[in-house]
């Protein structure tokens, strides 16, 4: 039960942090004086569809973690399935693809887990991968 309370508090804080953020404006790649786009200056196109897709990730992660906190391994499989197989949103920079792979891999491990301890460990890895991507994207405090 303590784990469930911890997850509820963590998710509530994360959602509160997300709610205080202003919507990001789409960002265009910077160009050099010659008009060329450098690989280091390319930024993701953050539009409403991208933001909504990331919110769907958060909802699925919440469902997964609530199910695990409630010791319902079977209920954790549906959001894990979605996270491991859904269509990827367009606009994710190549350097962020490692996080997509890590999230999918961890979600698949939750889905295939035979026991709660294994599923919880994979869920923690999944959550950490989300946070690493947020840090790489400069979206700190979002959970």
For 5-56, how does the pLDDT look when each residue is reduced to its tens digit (9 = 90+)?
444 444 544 544 444 444 344 344 344 344 443 333 234 456 788 888 889 9
Task: Decide if 75 is inside a domain.
Answer: yes
Cα separation, 58 vs 63, in Å, equals: 9
41 in any annotated domain: no
The number of folded domains in the chain is 1
Residue 34 belongs to a domain: no
Give 77-133 pLDDT, tens digit per residue: 999 999 999 988 877 788 888 999 999 999 999 999 999 999 999 999 999 999 998
Residue 26 lies in a domain: no
Q: What does the alpha-carbon distance between residue 127 and residue 63 come to, in Å, rounded to a whole number? A: 12
| pLDDT beyond 80 at 136 | yes
Residue 32 lies in a domain: no
The answer to whether residue 38 sits within a structural domain is no
DSSP bridge partners of 31: 37
More confident: 3 or 137: 137
What percent of the chain lies above the pLDDT cut of 90? 47
Q: Which two tokens stand for residue 6?
A: 């911890």
CA–CA separation, 77 vs 94, rounded Å? 28
Domain presence at residue 31:
no
Name 25's bridge partners.
Answer: none
Contact of 65 with 119, CB cutoff 8 Å: no
Residue with the two structure tokens 């294994």: 118
Domain range enclosing 66: 2-18+47-137
- 86 φ/ψ angles, rounded to the nearest 5 degrees: -65, 165
Model pTM?
0.66
Residue 51 lies in a domain: yes
Question: Is the C-alpha dihedral spanning 67, 71, 72, 74 positive or negative?
Answer: positive
pLDDT value of residue 42: 31
């Amino acid at each position: 039960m303590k784990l469930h309370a911890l997850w509820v508090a963590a998710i509530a804080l994360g959602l509160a942090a997300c709610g205080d953020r202003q919507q990001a404006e789409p960002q265009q790649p910077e160009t050099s004086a010659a008009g060329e786009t450098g690989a280091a200056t390319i930024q993701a196109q953050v539009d409403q569809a991208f933001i909504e897709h990331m919110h769907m990730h958060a909802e699925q992660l919440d469902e997964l973690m609530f199910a695990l906190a409630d010791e319902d391994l079977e209920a954790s499989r549906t959001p894990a399935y979605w996270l491991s197989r859904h269509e990827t949103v367009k606009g994710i920079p190549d350097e962020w693809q490692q996080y997509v792979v890590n999230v999918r891999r961890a979600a698949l491990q939750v889905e295939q887990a035979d026991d709660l301890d294994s599923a919880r460990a994979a869920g923690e890895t999944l959550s950490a991968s989300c946070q690493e991507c947020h840090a790489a994207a400069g979206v700190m405090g979002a959970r």
